[in-house]
Chains A and B, each alone.
Chain A
Amino acid sequence: MTSIILLSFFGVLNLFIGFANSKKTLLPLALLFLAVVFGVNLFSWNDPQSYFNNMLTIDNYAVAFTGIMVLTTLLLVPFSKRYVDERDDNLAEFYSLLLFSLVGAVMMVSYENMLMLFVGIEILSIAMYVLAGSDKKSLRSNEAALKYFLMGAFFTGILLFGIVLIYGATGTFNITEIGAASAATDGVMSAMFLLGLLMVIIGISFKISAAPFHFWAPDVYEGAPTFFTAFMSTVVKTAGVAAFFKLMAAAFAASYATWFPTLVAITTLTLVVGNIGAVVQTSVKRMLAYSSISHAGYLLMALVAFNEHSDSSILFYSLAYSTATVAAFGILNMVKAQRGGEIYEAFNGLGKTNPLLAFVMTVSMCSLAGIPLTAGFFAKFFVFAAVLQDTNMVWLVIIAVILAAVGIYYYFRVVIAMYMHPSENLPRLEVSSFSTFMLIFIMVLTILLGIAPALLSDII
């Protein structure tokens, strides 16, 4: 709860600091705010509390996911420096919107009531609609914002409709009570309840860009400024999947047999669309957009496994995926700004000009591809292990394994470009010391979790 209050307060505070119009203080302040929130959040560990007549519950699940999302944002913020330096319009609002959208994300992992879920998603989304279009002079950015907003508003409507139908069927918004009400029906659900359930699934699937509700994602991710694309594909996705699992586990566990086939179909489709889509891309940014769809698929695999290992494997996967993605987008951001392109060829010779950047990028790509010695390997391992608890699901693991091999193809194209396509006389990229520190931190974290996954594998 303190983290929500603090984030909102810091967001407003940031707006006021913006009046001072001193660019230099904004970035360190944002880092400081996030670090404070991260620290304060940890105090709620093992101290479950419920607030506002059971609207919100801060339990270990909420604390762990809040921690990951705040950490991801913290790692991401230094990469905004160049973006911020380049323009002189209202800068404070970027950081404020970022903090506000984090408030929404935190609500999405700690709600106890469907209305809070809705409010959380809206707080998160509205900030993101603005941020996606924040590059006002870029046509692509405007297009991205409009597309995201129109589609997003439409699917939020569907989600809300679903929530209302479920309220109609059960008479409550509280997810635990919904769970109890649906368990009492002995598996015979009313049509209203089922329709509501379906609409809720569709609404959240849109938010995490699961196929077939993913069509907005590649365009929006490509059009939005890289910094916000990174935020969308990490924090928003983590919040979405965590909210999804919480909802399914608390409210719809009894109707498991009903929604299971639907979600398995969505998962399989997401894996296929994400991985196959990424193969044919020529732009690294668009490849990462598709890759984020495919990772939504792996996260959903942990959800459909739906057993006691699901939450911890979602947690581990989110962290491994988010950190690697932040590094990838951060480096892409620098490459784009200084070499003027985001196609694979823009990475040529990076291994020579910036060995550290190239190495961090390689580690991140290996982690996303799930190669041992990196966090991504154990992330996939825990997900597959969770799914294999049910031996009837072996086929899903086989599909995922084949697609993971496909993933290696497109991730390693970046590595190949960096090390094996040396190009002549390319200048060294300038990297700020903040960014370097964050990149090294991400690399160490990725390798550490790849060697000693026990640090985090069973905390919730």
Chain B
Amino acid sequence: MILTAIILFWPALAALVVLLMKGQAARTVAFGAALIEFVLALVALAGFNTASGSTQMALSFPWVESAGIGFTIGMDGISLLMVLLTTFLVPLIILSSFKHEYKNPNAFYALILFMQTGLIGVFVALDAFLFYFFWELALIPVYFIAAIWGGARRIPVTFKFFVYTIFGSLFMLAAFVYLYLQTPGNHSSEIFAFYNLNLSSESQSWIFWFLFIAFAIKMPVFPFHTWQPDTYTESPTQATMLLSGIMLKMGIYGVLRWLLPVVPLGVSQWAGLVLVLSIIGIVYASFIAIRQRDLKRLIAYSSIAHVGLIAAGIFTLNEQGLQGGVIQMLSHGINVVGLFFIIDIIFSRTNTREITSLGGITQTTPALSICFMILMLGSIALPLTNGFVGEFLLLSGVFQYNAWFGAAAGLTIILGAVYMLRMFQGVMFGPKSPATEVFADLTMNEKAVLIPLVIMVFWIGLFPNTFLSISEPAVGNLLNIIRR
């Protein structure tokens, strides 16, 4: 259906317009374009048959015809949720930047919109090479955003990030080429051709690693995470939000769509090891988060812990784990974007992110305190918030797989509470510090960003079925393919 293509290319078109604009008008246009994109995604949702688990709104035409490579896009429930997440977050991310005066705003906002096309492309691509194409397309703009508008150490840090992720994705490309050459006849790189391959368990075993490295670096899963804390810390807030809120989901989505169903035998060989790595990541990142004094680094490490749990959940290959993974992708995207924005607010008023030099902010800021509290509790996974739904399903999935793994992964809730509450205490309660002596409450613009996020925290927490019902048939379909 043409709507999918419109959703895919609208941000790129808008980016071209924004690029040609001068001055701060660019951000208004960018924001408007991102809102229209969200509306388009809602239209897609309205026309979507949520009872079916198969691909809908598909569109296909040949791209490199002689080689059987097609421009094939379409959405199932999981893709649709990811597209909704992306289109929901990008306007808020653009809105959150209004308090900053970035130099060359036209380039800044054009890059954000370009990246949105890349992200949506990853979520709707049904052809391996198209997927790879958008996968890289999403990376290049965010690299430039981080490396041009970032902090003092931005150049070496973002460079490491760039080379690291390209290194991983080249392995993915090699695996795709191999899979493509295994398809019968004139070869095809369509996803269903990959699903129908009958590969020996030996070759599945190494393809698994080729693909897994690419996805694991993007997520990131321990021990492939070393680029992440530095990159998150040095990037401008908007890039950090894009990276942690949406781009990280590309990795998880890649596992769901391109790893589990394509090489199920490889997955069954290595799932145990991946679970162990993920759980090590959860515990390790949580302990490091407890020791952090920089707010941004703390959230960066907490993000590694949360993603570790998602990875563990989806590699259990049971329905709870997968469903929990999907819903937790949404929750994590919402919480982490909100938390990074609050850090940005605090930093813009105090010029520091050190927990020890903050304190007593609650005294003057009721609105900020409430928003921060809700997002933090969502991140800790308190019942009634969005985090609870996802983590509960994920943990029950892991528990079904292996009770000991479940118990170890469950540490994430306890440790999460430790570092989050410790942070909240240090930043918001206690006596005022020199830095927080004068601290204004939220402005209208800041409220406009935080309130939708807070609403979503409760919406997912109280009525998770709205979202679970969209992904459920797709997850069931996925499991059927995996267990074929």
Which A residues contact B (CB, under 8 angstroms)? 366, 371-373, 381, 384-385, 388-389, 391, 394, 397-398, 401-402, 404-405, 408-409, 412, 416, 419-421, 452-454, 457-458
Q: A373-B137, A394-B206, A397-B177 are in contact. List 15 more A-B contacts (CB 8 A).
A: A384-B174, A384-B177, A388-B174, A388-B177, A401-B171, A401-B173, A401-B174, A402-B170, A408-B162, A412-B162, A419-B147, A420-B148, A452-B64, A454-B64, A454-B66
Chain B residues touching A, majority SS: helix
Chain B residues with CB under 8 Å of A453's CB are 64
Chain A residues with CB under 8 Å of B144's CB are 419
Central interface residue in A372, A397, A401, by most chain B CB within 10 Å? A372
B253 interface contact, C-beta 8 A: no
Query: Within the complex, what minimum Cβ distance (angstroms) separates A420 from chain B?
Result: 5
One of A372, A401, A402, A404 near B136 (C-beta < 8 A): A372
CA distance A429 to B89 in the complex (A): 41
A404 with B162, Cβ < 8 A, contacts A388-B178, A416-B147 known: no
Please give me the 7 A-B residue pairs with the lowest Cβ-Cβ distance, nearest first.
A405-B167, A401-B170, A372-B136, A454-B64, A372-B133, A458-B66, A385-B177
B355 interface contact, C-beta 8 A: no
Chain A residues touching B, majority SS: helix
B163 touches A454 (CB 8 A): no
One of A371, A384, A388, A416 near B155 (C-beta < 8 A): A416
B66 touches A398 (CB 8 A): no
A412 touches B148 (CB 8 A): no
User: Which residues from 144 to 178 on chain B have a C-beta closer than 8 Å to any C-beta of chain A?
Assistant: 144, 147-148, 154-155, 159, 162-163, 166-167, 170-171, 173-174, 177-178
CA distance A30 to B163 in the complex (A): 42
CA distance A275 to B160 in the complex (A): 17
CA distance A457 to B148 in the complex (A): 36
One of B63, B132, B147, B148 near A454 (C-beta < 8 A): B63
Chain B residues with CB under 8 Å of A373's CB are 133, 136-137
B66 touches A457 (CB 8 A): yes
B203, closest chain A residue (CB): A391
B481 interface contact, C-beta 8 A: no
A394 touches B178 (CB 8 A): yes
Chain B interface size, under 10 / 10 to 19 / 20 to 34 / 35 or more: 20 to 34
A457 touches B64 (CB 8 A): yes
Central interface residue in B137, B148, B155, B173, by most chain A CB within 10 Å? B173
Query: Within the complex, what minimum Cβ distance (angstroms) separates B37 from chain A?
Result: 21
Could you jot down 25 A-B contacts, CB within 8 Å?
Answer: A371-B140, A371-B166, A372-B132, A373-B137, A381-B173, A381-B177, A385-B177, A388-B181, A391-B178, A394-B174, A397-B177, A401-B174, A402-B167, A402-B170, A404-B170, A405-B170, A408-B162, A412-B159, A412-B163, A419-B148, A420-B148, A420-B155, A452-B64, A454-B64, A457-B66
B194 interface contact, C-beta 8 A: no
Query: Within the complex, what minimum Cβ distance (angstroms) separates B209 from chain A?
Result: 11
Chain B residues with CB under 8 Å of A452's CB are 63-64
CA distance A274 to B170 in the complex (A): 19
B65 interface contact, C-beta 8 A: yes
Chain A residues with CB under 8 Å of B129's CB are 381
CA distance A206 to B474 in the complex (A): 57
B455 interface contact, C-beta 8 A: no
B180 interface contact, C-beta 8 A: yes
B206, closest chain A residue (CB): A394
Chain A residues with CB under 8 Å of B177's CB are 381, 384-385, 388, 397
Chain B residues with CB under 8 Å of A398's CB are 171, 174
CA distance A381 to B63 in the complex (A): 15
CA distance A234 to B166 in the complex (A): 26
B67 interface contact, C-beta 8 A: yes
Chain B residues with CB under 8 Å of A416's CB are 147, 155, 159
B163 touches A405 (CB 8 A): yes
Query: Within the complex, what minimum Cβ distance (angstroms) separates A371 from chain B?
Result: 6
CA distance A235 to B154 in the complex (A): 39
A419, closest chain B residue (CB): B148
Chain A residues with CB under 8 Å of B155's CB are 416, 420-421
One of B133, B147, B163 near A408 (C-beta < 8 A): B163
Query: Within the complex, what minimum Cβ distance (angstroms) separates A273 from chain B?
Result: 20
CA distance A13 to B144 in the complex (A): 50
B178 touches A457 (CB 8 A): no
Query: Within the complex, what minimum Cβ distance (angstroms) separates B194 from chain A?
Result: 15
CA distance A405 to B159 in the complex (A): 12
Central interface residue in A388, A394, A405, by most chain B CB within 10 Å? A405
B149, closest chain A residue (CB): A420
